[in-house]
Amino acid sequence: MTTAIETTAIETRHLGKRYRGRWALTDCTLSIPAGRVVGLVGPNGAGKTTLLNLATGHLAPDSGSIAILGGRPGSGSGQLARVGFVAQDTPTYLGLSIADHLRLGARLNPHWDRPYAERRIARLGLDPRRKAGRLSGGQRAQLALTIAIAKRPELLILDEPVAALDPLARREFLDELADAVAERATTVMLSSHLVSDLEGFCDYLIVITASRIRAAGPVNELLAAHNAAAGPDSAPADLEDLVLAHMGRAAQWESAQREAAYPEVETQR
């Protein structure tokens, strides 16, 4: 008999990152099971990119710890092969063609899915001979996303992956991503400002504001707790209501903190 063991994809303990004395991420403790599709939401400057860069090993923590698939982020080729990452600015090699990028992907990644990559580029109507520097911002994002999925990682980390895509391309990409992750039980963590796009797609939510995690957990549990607190007379909340409620509470808390720290400034307003 085999026993299903739920492994942890991302584990952080009091994780923190500071830039020139200011905390961009503070006291972040998370335990995200493998196989989840995690939406990371929060306002500009909240700390989303900082958390994702700590998870990929592009940044080192200033406090606490982080483990990715049981290992240190970005440590060695084995660990790198297990994690796919598309940064916010979807970097590509501007002087290389799309075909060059796919060849490079094949050479660098042990589980490279060549048919998938070629099919997706063809479906997008992109000429493989085109240099990345001659693609539009959205097309470059599509190339970077194709490479990240074709790598067939165990964990896919995407920083605002749909920001550069038009609404139809956004929907198609998220549908395709949902299929790809369901097929292989890939864990995905993606940040987005477009909460409506995450509805029905993410099954785990992290809300972060002003460098702190305000809510983290399975979407159905967070929604159930929110609806129970709102009472039977309130309409059931959707993901957007949930995020706005957490952000609203956090904003009130931050304002109270500021008032306590600088009482004269607040009363002069």
Shortest separation between residue 22's beta carbon and ligand ATP, angstroms: 7
Contact 214, 26 (CB under 8 A): no
C-beta of residue 86 within 8 angstroms of C-beta of residue 148? yes
| Residue 210 beta carbon to ligand ATP: minimum distance, rounded to whole angstroms | 9
We find the least distance from the C-beta atom of residue 263 to ligand ATP, in angstroms, to be: 24
Instruction: Supply the minimum distance, in Å, between the C-beta of residue 32 and ligand ATP.
Output: 18
Cβ pair 36, 204 in contact under 8 A: yes
Q: Which is nearer to ligand ATP, 59 or 148 (CB)?
A: 59
All residues at 6 or more sequence positions from 20 whose CB lies less than 8 Å from its CB, including other chains: none
Closest CB to ligand ATP among residues 20, 107: 20
Q: Which of 9, 24, 86, 188 binds ligand ATP (CB under 6 A)?
A: 24
Whole-angstrom Cα distance, residue 51 to residue 214?
Answer: 14
Q: Based on CB atoms, which residue is closest to ligand ATP, 49 or 92?
A: 49
The nearer residue to ligand ATP, 24 or 68, going by C-beta atoms, is 24
69 touches 117 (CB < 8 A): no
Q: What is the smallest separation between the CB atom of 215 and ligand ATP, expressed in angstroms?
A: 15
Considering only 14, 19, 185, 225, the residue that binds ligand ATP (CB under 6 A) is 19
* Cβ atoms of residues 206 and 30 within 8 Å: yes
CA–centroid distance for 89 within its chain: 14
Q: Does 60 participate in binding ligand ATP (rule CB under 6 A)?
A: no
Site for ligand ATP in 68-107 (CB under 6 A): none
The radius of gyration of the chain's CA atoms, rounded to the nearest angstrom, is 20
Residues 31-50 that bind ligand ATP (CB under 6 A): 42, 44-50
Kindly state the number of chain residues that form the binding site for ligand ATP, as judged by CB under 6 A. Answer: 11
Phi and psi angles of residue 25, each rounded to the nearest 5 degrees, phi first: -150, 130
Kindly tell me which of 154 and 160 has the beta carbon lying closer to ligand ATP. Answer: 160
- Residue 112: count other Cβ atoms within 10 Å of its Cβ: 19
Q: How far is CA 14 from CA 5, 33, 155, in A?
A: 25, 18, 22
**Least gap, CB of 62 to ligand ATP (angstroms):** 12
For ligand ATP, which is the closer residue by CB, 237 or 247?
247
Least distance from ligand ATP to the Cβ atom of residue 128, Å? 31
Instruction: Give me the residues that bind ligand ATP (CB under 6 A), please.
Output: 19-20, 24, 42, 44-50
